[in-house]
Amino acid sequence: MGAEWGKIIDFNWTLVINLLQFAVLLVLLRWLLWKPAIKYIDKRRELIASRMAAAKTSEEKAGELVVEREAELVTAKKESVAILEEARERAEKSFEDAKQRAKEEADRILADARVQMEHERDRVLADLKAQYAEMVVLGTERVLSREVRVEDHRRLLDQLLAEIDEAALDGVKEKR
C-alpha cells in the first residue's frame, strides 16, 4: 500500500466504501432509532388523539349538561310562575269568597234588623193601640160627662179618631 497526494476531485473506491458504510448506518439506525422512534411517536399521537377525544367527549357532555340545566331552569321558572299564578288565583278566590260571605252576613244582619224593626213597630203599634183604647176610654168618659148629642158625639168621635190616627202616624215616624 502506498500513499500519494491526489487531486481535489479524484474519484476512487472511497465512493463505494462510503456508500457501504452509509448502508450499514442506515440498517443500524433503522433498528436502533427509527423503529422505536416511530413506535413512540405513533403511540404518543394515539395517546394525544385519545386524550383529545376524551376531552371532546367531556366537553360535549358538559355542553349537554348545560343545555339540560338550562332546560330545567326554564321548566322551574315556568313552574314557579304557575305556582305564583295559582296562589294569586287562590288568594283572589278566597278574597272573593270572604267578600261574598261578608256581604251575605251583612244582608242577613240587615234582614234580621228589618225583621226586628218590623216586630218592634208592630209592638209599638200594639202599644199605641192599647194607649188609643185607653185614650178612647178616657175620651168616652169625657164625652159622657157632657150632654151628648148624636151630632156632637159623632163629631167628637171623628175628632178623636183623627187625633188618634195623627198620633199613631207620628209615633210610627218617630220609631222609624
- The answer to whether 53 contacts other proteins (rule: CB under 8 A) is no
**In the complex, what is the shortest distance from the CB of residue 61 to other proteins, in angstroms, rounded to a whole number?**
23
- Alpha carbons 41 and 44: distance in angstroms, whole number: 5
- Alpha carbons 137 and 130: distance in angstroms, whole number: 10
- The answer to whether 43 contacts other proteins (rule: CB under 8 A) is yes
- The answer to whether 36 contacts other proteins (rule: CB under 8 A) is yes
- The answer to whether 30 contacts other proteins (rule: CB under 8 A) is yes
Residue 129 one-letter amino acid? K
Among 132, 137, 135, which residue's Cα sits nearest to residue 172? Answer: 132
**In the complex, what is the shortest distance from the CB of residue 38 to other proteins, in angstroms, rounded to a whole number?**
7
Report DSSP state, residue 31.
I
Taking the least distance from each CB to other proteins, the nearer of 48 and 113 is 48
Part of the chain binding other proteins (CB under 8 A), chosen from 41-49, 53-61, 68-76, 120-128: 41-49
- The answer to whether 173 contacts other proteins (rule: CB under 8 A) is no
Collapse the DSSP code of 106 into the 3-class scheme (helix H, G, I; strand E, B; otherwise coil) and give the result.
Answer: helix
Part of the chain binding other proteins (CB under 8 A), chosen from 3-11, 71-79, 113-121, 152-160: 3-11
107, three cell numbers: 244582608
**In the complex, what is the shortest distance from the CB of residue 60 to other proteins, in angstroms, rounded to a whole number?**
24
- Alpha carbons 26 and 32: distance in angstroms, whole number: 10
Core vs surface per residue 141-170: b (16+ CB within 10 A) or e: eebeeeeeeeeeeeebeeebeeebeeebee
Residue that the C-alpha cell 433498528 belongs to: 31
- The answer to whether 21 contacts other proteins (rule: CB under 8 A) is yes
- Interface residues with other proteins (CB under 8 A) are 1-19, 21-22, 24-26, 28-30, 32-34, 36-38, 40-41, 43-44, 47
